[in-house]
């Protein structure tokens, strides 16, 4: 039985390799239909955009889990919400 961090690392590696293969496959399809080849600057921009998107997603999901675990969602005052009753239901 492998450890949990090892399974996570393997799943992460598989995800990154799948995303890289899909990206290169899309680029190959683009050049196969006589589209312009992507320069090194395009690859850098694509990589930074993907990294930024993934980092933002992980951060927001982490904050959502932290909020849920610590009970921040239960402490919200919904008394002024027009769709809710005044008694808290």
Q: What is the pTM of this model?
A: 0.50
The CB density around residue 78, as the number of other CB atoms within 10 Å, is 9
Which 3-state string (H, E, C) describes 36-78? CCCCHHHHHHHHHHHHHHHHHHHHHHHHHHHHHHHCHHHHCCC
Domain extent, residue 15, equals 1-35
Q: What is the pLDDT of residues 10-32, one digit of tens each?
A: 999 999 999 999 989 988 888 88
pLDDT at 1: 58
Token code pair at residue 11: 């799943």
In the chain, how many domains are there?
Answer: 2
18 and 2 together in one domain? yes
1 and 31 together in one domain? yes
The CB density around residue 38, as the number of other CB atoms within 10 Å, is 15
pLDDT at 37: 79
pLDDT at 76: 72
């Amino acid at each position: 039985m492998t450890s949990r961090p090892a399974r996570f690392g393997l799943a992460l590696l598989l995800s990154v390799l799948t995303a890289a293969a899909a990206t290169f496959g899309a680029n190959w399809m683009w050049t196969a239909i006589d589209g312009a080849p992507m320069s090194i600057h395009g690859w850098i921009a694509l990589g930074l955009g993907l990294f930024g998107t993934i980092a933002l997603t992980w951060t927001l999901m982490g904050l959502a889990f932290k909020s849920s675990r610590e009970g921040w969602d239960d402490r919200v005052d919904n008394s002024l919400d027009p769709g809710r009753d005044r008694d808290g239901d």
